[in-house]
Amino acid sequence: MKKKQTYHRAHPTWCPGCGLFGVFDALKRAAANMGLAPEDVVVVTGIGCHGRMNNYFYSYGFHGLHGRAMPVATGIKLVNPKLTVIGVSGDGDAYSIGLGHFLHAVRRNVDITYIVVNNRLYSLTQGQMSPTTMFGMVTISTPFGSKDFPIEGPVLALAARGTFVARGFSAEAGHLAFLIEKGMRHKGFAFIDVLSPCVTYNKLNTFEWYKKNTFMIEKEPDYSPGDKSKAWEILNRDDRIAVGLLYEEEKPSYEELILPDTDQPIAFVDLSVRRKELEIIMENFR
Amino acid sequence: MIKDLSVMIAGKAGDGVLFTGNVLARLLKRHGWEVVTGRDFPSNIRGEPTRTTIRASLNENYGPGDLVNILLAFDCEAILDNLPLMAAGGTVLCDGEVVVTPPRDQAEGKTFHKFPLRAMAREKFGHEIFKNMIALGALTFLLDLETTLFEEIITEMFLRRKGEEVEKKNIQAAAYGYEKAREITLARERLPLARKEDGERLLLSGDEAIAFGALAAGCRFFAAYPICPASEISHWLARHMPQFNGVVIQTEDELAALNMALGAAYAGARAMTATSGPGASLMMEAFSLAGMAEIPIVIAHIQRLGPATGIPTKTQQGDILQWVFGSHGEFARIILAPGTLSECFELTTEAFNLAEKYQCPVVLLTELDMGQDYRTAPRFDLSRVRIDRGKLLTQEQLLGIQDFKRYEFTFDGISPRALPSSRKGLHMVESLEHDESGYRDESESNRMRMMEKRMKKLKKASKDLPRARVWESRKAGAGLITTGSTLGPVLEAAAELRKKHVQAKCLQLRTLWPFPVHAVKRFLDECDRVFVIENNCSAELATLIRSQVIPLPEMVSILRCGTRSFRPREVVEQVEKAVR
């Protein structure tokens, strides 16, 4: 256990009341519960309001390109599996420009925890429609209402054979911290879609709206995250949005499968020229 | 005794043309010859015409020559297209049902033999697959090659992987082809080759040389998306990387490939990706990130013919300016262009040092005909491979530092680097403009200083960069400037021009960026007329020279827009026309 202040670098400048404050708090709590040294954590972010997370959360940080957080995070994890690698993206980052990377990261089951802060808009750029914007919603880019049907991250993750699929709510920071911690402890890819209201541009999906339209699956009497058909069923419900750990299964992680030796991080391998072995390999060219 | 000849194997995709050619190349190499293959195949798996030409010379061998001496075709129709390339006195062997009558003017002076390879393979060995061995046996006879050396190669190919029975049968098929050729050809058709010691030489493709160079240089992370003609690098590394505790990842696309390699490099690996054509365009985005975040990375680009999907199996040099000036924003980058097989290896090993020393992306720019064709080369000298990780700090060094700053303003613009997990090295990598610690800073003063810091990194790099190479030292009437694999035909053309009393010398640019201004200026001073020879339509290399060298004498561009590289004759003719 560490104090959550350990990871507090600066006070965020997100709009007052933004859901990202809850995510920031939950992330710090989860890291504290895990007792992680900030030097052993890398937070990889994409482009959007969430991307400022690196400025506030104290750890190694990589603020890359729009949509490309997952390949960067995968590269880092494979080269040094001892690091705790956390990806933070927005809904535009993960489900639009980076959708391909997202699905492939899920199916590879790399040991990364991926938090997608879903505010259903591109808020950093004035609130354009995103892939999770509700059908018909008027935004700056859809003055006559969105004609695109929304997609849901957890549905995609489950279809891509995700081994840890969860949904959090940024108003429930304690619960979200629990999900993130569980995700970090999960061996393999842990995906958490976080319902996170944008208080500036999204006047539809507000905190109140989510409180009315969500329910905690942990409180459902016979729900088990090990039951995939139940997970599908609950994700297909139209009336209310399920929050909690939707699905979890055990599977070997990508690095366990693909790295010759997980105990010897590539990052610190001795690179001196192995002449003897290379000379033998060169014989193949004779 | 013959000192230089070319053998063409032609057929349809799926006939084993490449296999046959590659075995012949190895056989000729074992006889001490310098060998270059020139594959010419369509981008499909079966059915379309395909061919490969094996050029063998006793001495220096620069690349595909002008003419073919022996043509072996798996179907007779294939000979029609290729007859114009045949040298006088050439021999043609062909198989196939269709009766083909070559035009009289093209047939003159050449000997034609119907050679029923498939039928012989079926009847004698029970399967058409043996047609290739029979063909190779016939060529062994025609070139008066040692059957024992051929059998040695067959054993290497089949004994371990397919067992003794398959090996034996192949040896028998080869012997059968040898005897059949003896029966049907005339004594004058035989081209007995001079012999030399094979020595320690190698025969491999440019892609393999790059892959081997990467492995030797300590590359331990390779991520790429399959694309012709760069995939062979990935395939080779995938087999050998585990032994060195490294990993090869096939990514979902090229965006992921470069981003993943950047993540790996940031975390401490010597990392690389390889691509071509459209893949390079996709990488342009992360290329800029590598520049901004100052992450060492090596990108091999094996150029193919564009634009768009273009002709994926044909060579070109149409992507030079894309890398020199491409991507958004301005940042330091190094572009290297190997022109020989040895340089594919050497420049790759150097690329990793340059990337880490200057903390910037390094592009290895070569071409399909260098990447995929096989060439002989002296054994690579591993004793010359050195590893220089630049300002990468160890944990011990970091503990001795107060207030580590990843992007510290330094006299040379190059800042110290720390790897994640290091104590006292904590920092941010930021694609936004950032301060010395890596945190976002959009102020005017910071932006100006940061930009200056990043751009000045390469100011003094020229001492470390592969120098432009000058061939022939004296003053010359014709100066030929080129880069990449076009070097081969240009060198051969220069030799030919000298025979015709045109004093020609060549300049090979091995570093395209930072541009070697002084070397080019000096060369221009030493030549009366200057020609820039490159395998593209819009004179990209000449454009680059024009943008960097002032004042500039008149330069004549010799360009090729087609589906193959230059033949030496094409260069000779154009230079001669301009000089005389």
pLDDT over 90 (residue B48):
no
Measured distance CA(B572)–CA(B580) in Å, rounded? 12
Decide: helix, strand or coil at residue B3: coil
A1 touches chain B (CB under 8 A): no
Written as six digits, the tokens of B22 are 């590659």
Using CB atoms within 10 A of its CB, is residue A209 exposed (0-12), middle (13-18) or buried (19+)?
Answer: middle
Mean pLDDT on A242-254: 98
What is the enclosing helix (H) or strand (E) of B79?
helix B77-82
What are the structure tokens assigned to A39, written together? 């030097």
The answer to whether B399 contacts chain A (CB < 8 Å) is no
| Cβ atoms A170, A23 nearer than 8 A | yes
> Are A75 and B263 in contact (CB < 8 Å)?
yes
Under an 8 A CB cutoff, do B245 and A104 touch?
no
Hey, is the C-beta of A140 within 8 angstroms of any chain B C-beta?
no
Percentage of chain A lying above the pLDDT 70 cut = 100
How high is the pLDDT of residue B62? 83
The answer to whether residue A238 scores a pLDDT higher than 90 is: no
Question: What residues of chain A, 27 to 46, have a C-beta less than 8 Å from chain B?
Answer: 38-40, 42, 44
Q: In chain B, whose CA is at the least distance from the CA of A267?
A: B268
Q: What is the Cα–Cα distance from B363 to B337, expressed in whole angstroms? A: 8
- Find all residues with CB under 8 Å of B441, minimum gap 6, and list them: B433, B434, B435, B447, B450
Do residues B390 and B414 touch, judged by C-beta distance below 8 A? yes
pLDDT per residue as tens digits for the range A142-168:
999 999 999 999 999 999 999 999 999
**Partners of A41 in the β-ladder:** A84
Task: Tell how strand B361-367 and strand B334-336 pair up.
Answer: parallel
Q: What is the pLDDT at residue B186?
A: 87
- A275 CA to centre of own chain: 43
**The complex's ipTM?**
0.98
Kindly list the residues from chain B whose CB atom is less than 8 angstroms away from the CB atom of residue A44.
Answer: 263
Using the Cβ of B262 and the Cβ atoms of chain A, whether some distance falls under 8 Å is answered with yes
Q: Are B219 and B246 in contact (CB under 8 A)?
A: yes
Q: Is the pLDDT of residue A217 over 80?
A: yes
Residue B172 at interface with chain A, using a CB cutoff of 8 Å: no
At B470-503, the pLDDT tens digits run 998 788 999 999 999 999 999 999 999 999 999 9
Across the A:B interface, residue pairs with CB atoms under 8 Å apart total: 191
What is residue B428's three-state secondary structure?
A: strand
Residue B44 above 80 pLDDT?
Answer: no
Contact B91, B72 (CB under 8 A): no
What is the pLDDT confidence band of residue B76, given thresholds at 50, 70 and 90?
confident
Average per-residue pLDDT for chain B: 95
More confident residue, A95 or B101: A95
Mean pLDDT of chain A: 97
Residue B472's pLDDT is 85
How far apart CA B546 and CA A50 sit, in angstroms, is 46
**Are the beta carbons of A140 and A202 closer than 8 angstroms?**
no
Q: B254: pLDDT confidence band, cut at 50, 70 and 90?
A: very high
Q: Please give the average per-residue pLDDT across B405-412, as a whole number.
A: 98
Query: Where is B52: in which H helix or E strand?
Result: strand B49-57
The pLDDT score that the predictor gives to residue B116 is 94
Whether the CB-CB separation of B549 and B524 falls below 8 Å is answered with yes
Q: Which residues of A touch B291 (CB under 8 A)?
A: none
**For residues B206 and B344, is the Cβ–Cβ distance under 8 A?**
yes
B221 pLDDT tier (thresholds 50, 70, 90): very high
DSSP state of B314: E
Q: Give the tokens for residue B131.
A: 């047609």
pLDDT digits (tens, 9 = 90+) for B347-359: 999 999 999 999 9
Whether residues B261 and A75 touch (CB distance < 8 A) is answered with yes
Query: Taking a C-beta distance cutoff of 8 angstroms, is the pair A125, A131 a contact?
Result: no
Distance in Å, alpha carbon of A9 to nearest chain B alpha carbon? 11
Q: Residue B61: its pLDDT value, please? A: 82
CA distance B490 to chain A (A): 27
Task: Please report, as a single letter, which amino acid is at residue B373.
Answer: D
Phi, psi of A188 (to 5 degrees): 120, -165
Q: Which of A61, A62, A260 sits opposite B245 (nearest CB)?
A: A260
Taking 90 as the threshold, does the pLDDT of residue B195 lie above it? no
Who's near A209: CB < 8 A, 6+ residues apart? A197
CA atoms within 13 A on the CB side of A50: 39
Q: Report the distance separating Cα B548 and Cα A36, nearest Å.
A: 52
Residue B78 pLDDT exceeds 90: no
* CB-based contact, A160 to chain B, within 8 Å: no
How far apart, in whole angstroms, are the C-alpha atoms of residue A20 and residue A67? 18
Q: Can you tell me the distance from the alpha carbon of B213 to that of B221, in angstroms, rounded to the nearest whole number? A: 14
Q: Would the pLDDT of A192 be above 80?
A: yes
Sign of the Cα pseudo-torsion (A268, A273, A276, A279, in order): positive
Q: Which of A200-214, B62-76, B543-557 has the lowest mean pLDDT?
A: B62-76
pLDDT band at B41 (very low <50, low <70, confident <90, very high): confident
Query: From residue A263, how far is each of A266, A268, B104, B247, B493 by CA, in Å?
Result: 9, 11, 72, 14, 55
Closest C-alpha to A210, from A118, A114, A275:
A118
Pairing of strands B428-430, A60-63: parallel
The residue with tokens 């992306």 is B361
pLDDT of residue B274: 98
Beta strands in chain A (DSSP E): 41-45, 60-63, 84-90, 113-118, 121-122, 128-129, 164-169, 190-195, 214-216, 241-248
The contacts of residue A61 (CB under 8 Å, 6+ apart) are A42, A43, A44, A45, A53, A54, B427, B428, B429, B430, B438
Q: Is B216 helix (H, G, I), strand (E, B) or coil?
A: helix
pLDDT at A35 over 90: yes
According to the model, what pLDDT value does residue B580 have?
80
**Chain B contact for A276 (CB, 8 A cutoff):** no
Question: What's the pLDDT band for B165 if we cut at 50, 70, 90?
Answer: very high
- Cβ pair B261, B271 in contact under 8 A: yes
Q: Are B321 and B544 a contacting pair, CB within 8 Å?
A: yes
d(CA A158, CA A154): 6
Express as a percent the part of chain B with pLDDT over 90. 87
Handedness of CA B18, B23, B26, B28 (dihedral sign): negative
Helix (H) or strand (E) holding B462: none
Q: How far is CA B575 from its chain centroid?
A: 26
Q: Output B264 or B47, whichever has higher pLDDT.
A: B264
Q: Give the residue from chain A lying closest to B380, CA to CA.
A: A282
pLDDT at B1: 73
Q: Does B175 touch chain A (CB under 8 A)?
A: no
**Res B171: pLDDT:** 96
Report DSSP letters for B222-242, one per residue. EEE---TTTHHHHHHHHHHTG
d(CA B524, CA B62): 24
How many whole angstroms separate alpha carbon A174 and alpha carbon B296?
Answer: 40
* pLDDT score, position A129: 97
pLDDT digits (tens, 9 = 90+) for A113-139: 999 999 999 999 999 999 999 999 999
Within 98-127 of A, beta carbons closer than 8 Å to B belong to 100-101, 104
At B491, list the tokens: 């060198």
Flag if B420 and A272 touch (Cβ within 8 Å). Answer: no
Distance between B136 CA and the closest CA of chain A, angstroms: 19
Tallying the residues shown for chain B, one arrives at 580
Tokens of residue B413, six digits: 């613009």
Please report residues of B whose CB lies closer than 8 A to that of A258.
247, 249
For residue A116, the cross-strand partners are: A89, A193
Task: Specify the 3-state DSSP secondary structure of B439.
Answer: coil
The answer to whether A271 faces chain B, any CB pair under 8 Å, is: yes
The span from the CA of B293 to the CA of A63, in Å, is 10
Neighbours of A221 (CB within 10 A): 4
Using an 8 Å Cβ cutoff, are B317 and B564 in contact?
A: no
Residue B47, pLDDT > 80, answer: no
pTM across the whole model: 0.97
Helix (H) or strand (E) holding A220: none
Smallest CA–CA distance, residue A108 to chain B, in Å, is 10
Q: Which of A63, A74, A100 sits opposite B253 (nearest CB)?
A: A100
Is the dihedral angle over the CA atoms B68, B69, B73, B76 positive or is it negative?
positive
- Per residue in B91-143, pLDDT (tens digit) is 999 997 777 788 888 888 889 999 999 999 999 999 999 999 999 999 999 99
The b/e string for A64-86 (b: 16+ C-beta within 10 A; e otherwise) is bbbbbbbbbbbbbbbbbbebbbb
Cβ atoms B216, B349 nearer than 8 A: yes
